[in-house]
Amino acid sequence: MAKNELRKKVLALRKSLSLKEAEEKSTLVLTNLLTLPAYRHAGTLMTYVDFQNEVGTKELIGESLKRGKRVAVPFTDVTNCRLIPSLLKYSWAELVPGTWGILEPAPDRLHPLKPEDLDLVVVPGIAFDFKGNRLGYGGGFYDRFLPQTRPDTVILALAFELQVYPEICNRPHDYRMHFIVTEKRIIKCGLLKK
């Protein structure tokens, strides 16, 4: 299936989830994530802020802060086509609608971290396969950002089962996930690599 067709199909499936279903499944995804050693050992992580029926990350942010982890969220620098990890000081409530309506730190309240400061990056996406290939939203922001992280930084995706496919076509510059965490399982996609 062509990437654009798959995008439309999966976005429609994800949109068809009721708010209650998405919340219940997101809670199960978080429960699975919390069992993962890569999460437990991460001192500093960056996570996307959910948008349009993605796996919810509000509970992840709150739980991580409660556990004493440093939590960053992406600020989208559209002018320079890059993501800037910005440390949250207190809570989700610090965020304001930014690029494309997605919550992010206000430009005057950035607390930038270097990509190499991150132990774990939680990546959004539309669809994923068992090898860790990711179908994103088409902007390439994460594919440009992830190579800047350390070789031992763990890259994982949170996804509903309906977003997991046997195979997604990828290109050489597409960055693979190490793990995909769904409401039913944790898929180990391969060794840490760069």
pLDDT at residue 171, as a whole number: 73
Q: What is the pLDDT of residues 121-165, one digit of tens each?
A: 999 999 999 999 999 887 889 989 999 999 999 999 999 999 999
Residues 109-122 pLDDT 10s? 889 999 999 999 99
- Delineate the domains of the chain, giving CATH numbers in brackets: 3-188 (3.40.50.10420)
Alpha-carbon separation of residue 141 from 94, 106, 123, 148, 175 (angstroms) = 22, 19, 11, 12, 11
pLDDT above 90: residue 182: yes
Residue 193: pLDDT over 80: no
Q: How far apart are CA 172 and CA 181, in angstroms?
A: 24
Summarize pLDDT for 84-115 with one digit per residue, the tens.
999 998 777 788 888 788 888 888 888 999 99
Each residue of 25-47: pLDDT tens digit? 999 999 999 999 999 999 999 99
How far is Cα 188 from Cα 53, in angstroms, rounded to an integer? Answer: 24
Dihedral sign, CA of 12, 15, 20, 26? Answer: positive
